């Protein structure tokens, strides 16, 4: 790719969004940063547009939503309304964040730790005596999913349906047309479900975020039905997918790097730093879409309104210019500058909750099962884009 002009080039998405890159992304990231820290794929590419891969440029793009917008036309995944607040730009985004931030502030999230720890222990109790587990199915998925349902005040019996809608939205099967139809059907079903759930929250309120949202006010008014559905849609996808992917990435790494695992077993105080370093090194959300709103020049490439853009978070997090010896995992590193949660206005709303779930899961796993490894016949492959590993089977 040419980083000093708008010369048309091949489509990097054929490499980035491949199974090989999902399973072992660092070589792809390095090649992308070397060839095109900012580059433009031509109109004949599968995913034409601007690709941004260096840490400095990705961080700049994330901090300037007036140029790199995350509005719905950046990516449609079947939703009938913007997912709030992630698909709304400032200044309206700021008002939504002010409304939702109290729910996710550190002190309130810290109050959840006893329940989260109890849940993790209960899940581990279910398989610890067996000597093996499918970590994805038996801990990485039920932990954040159960916390999500409790947070919203929804019944645990609805989880299988939520997980199906999640996968139909983020990992739909088939070609592009079939995937679009699947996503559209899932989006409609999600809206139908939450339309009913919001009525129930008004008429028969139970403790949980839904009951708080239906009475919440912004700018002196209650939220509209469209706004409430946009918030619920985002909560579902965020609550059920990214922590699961993060746990899969972290434990798959630790299962194949016993010296790192033993460090956590020997010194549990390393776990918070390990969470940040593994989010950086194993970045579960490989890239995020944006759409250019204002003319700008980034990395020598002229950006025009309407240009689609992909910010390659994983490449930014493995940039030696930002993190010396970035290819190495170092629990002594200050990795807090990573962009796995984003930066700026769109910093992940649920980051404090995610950190709590990840920390407690790693603490309890290594306390109860200090010596694990991949099963000999494990077939570990990560999903493309957001890196979950359904075949993550461990033995001890």
Q: Give the C-alpha separation, 236 to 233, whole Å.
A: 5
Q: Above 70 in pLDDT, residue 10? A: no
Which one of 349, 356, 358, 394 is the catalytic residue? 349
Q: Which of 141, 169, 182, 242 is catalytic?
A: 242
pLDDT at residue 83 above 80? yes
Q: Is the pLDDT of residue 169 over 50?
A: yes
Length of the chain (residues): 396
Q: How much is the pLDDT for 237?
A: 87
User: Which is catalytic among the residues 95, 171, 262, 368?
Assistant: 171
One-character DSSP codes across 135-189:
HIIIIITHHHHHHHHHHHT--GGGHHHHHHHHHHHHS--SSHHHHHHHHHHHHHH
Active-site residue, selected from the candidate residues 57, 89, 241, 307: 241
pLDDT at 17: 83
Q: Indicate the SS3 state at residue 303.
A: strand
Catalytic residue, from 100, 223, 348, 362: name it: 348
* Domains of the chain with CATH codes: 13-395 (1.10.630.10)
Does 130 qualify as catalytic in the annotation? Answer: no
For the record, the structure tokens of 368 come out as 């109860």
Query: Most confidently modeled of 296-305, 344-353, 366-375?
Result: 366-375
* Closest-CA residue to 384 (of 250, 287, 317): 287
Residue 292, classed as helix, strand or coil, is: strand
> For residue 7, what pLDDT is reported?
35
Cβ atoms within 10 Å of 384's Cβ, excluding its own: 17
Highest mean pLDDT, choosing among 34-43, 72-81, 239-248: 239-248
**Catalytic residue at 232?**
no
CA distance 211 to 200: 9
Using the structure block, give the residue that is written with the tokens 């399973």: 23
Rg (alpha carbons) of the chain, rounded to whole number: 21
pLDDT at 4: 36
Cis peptide leading into 85, omega within 30 of 0?
yes
Exactly one of 350, 358, 365, 394 is catalytic; name it. 350
- Name residue, tokens 């059920």: 240
Confidence of residue 5 (pLDDT cuts 50, 70, 90): very low
pLDDT digits (tens, 9 = 90+) for 281-321: 999 999 999 999 999 999 999 999 999 999 999 999 999 99
171 is catalytic: yes
Q: Is the pLDDT of residue 89 over 70?
A: yes
**349 is a catalytic site residue:** yes
Q: Tell me: pLDDT of 354 over 50.
A: yes
């Amino acid at each position: 790719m040419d980083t000093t002009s708008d010369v048309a080039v091949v489509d990097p998405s054929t490499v980035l969004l491949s199974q090989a890159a999902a399973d072992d992304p660092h070589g792809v990231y390095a090649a992308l940063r070397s060839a095109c820290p900012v580059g433009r794929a031509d109109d004949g590419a599968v995913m034409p547009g601007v690709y941004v891969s260096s840490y400095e440029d990705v961080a700049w793009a994330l901090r300037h939503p007036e140029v790199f917008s995350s509005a719905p036309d950046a990516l449609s995944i079947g939703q009938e309304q913007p997912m709030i607040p992630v698909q709304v730009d400032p200044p309206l985004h700021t008002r939504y964040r002010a409304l939702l931030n109290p729910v996710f502030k550190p002190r309130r999230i810290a109050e959840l730790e006893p329940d989260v720890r109890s849940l993790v222990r209960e899940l581990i109790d279910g398989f610890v005596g067996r000597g093996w587990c499918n970590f994805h199915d038996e801990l990485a998925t039920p932990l954040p999913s159960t916390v999500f349902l409790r947070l919203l005040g929804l019944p645990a019996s609805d989880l299988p349906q939520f997980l199906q809608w999640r996968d139909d939205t983020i990992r739909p099967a088939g070609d592009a047309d079939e995937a679009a139809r699947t996503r559209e059907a899932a989006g409609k079903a999600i809206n139908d479900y939450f339309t009913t759930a919001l009525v129930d929250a008004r008429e028969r309120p139970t403790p949980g975020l839904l009951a708080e949202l239906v009475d919440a006010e912004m700018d002196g008014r209650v939220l509209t039905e469209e706004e409430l559905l946009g918030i619920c849609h985002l909560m579902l996808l965020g609550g059920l997918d990214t922590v699961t992917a993060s746990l899969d990435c972290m434990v798959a790494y630790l299962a194949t790097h016993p010296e790192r695992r033993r460090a956590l077993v020997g010194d549990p105080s390393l776990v918070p730093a390990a969470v940040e370093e593994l989010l950086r090194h194993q970045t579960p959300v490989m890239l995020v879409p944006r759409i250019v709103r204002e003319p700008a020049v980034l990395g020598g490439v002229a950006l025009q309104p309407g240009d689609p853009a992909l910010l390659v978070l994983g490449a930014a997090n493995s940039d030696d210019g930002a993190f010396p010896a970035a290819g190495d995992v170092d629990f002594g590193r200050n990795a807090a500058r990573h962009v796995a949660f984003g930066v700026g206005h769109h910093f992940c709303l649920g980051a404090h909750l995610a950190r709590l779930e990840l920390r407690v899961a790693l603490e309890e796993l290594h306390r109860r099962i200090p010596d694990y490894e991949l099963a000999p016949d494990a077939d570990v492959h990560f999903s493309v884009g957001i890196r979950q590993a359904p075949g993550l089977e461990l033995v001890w």
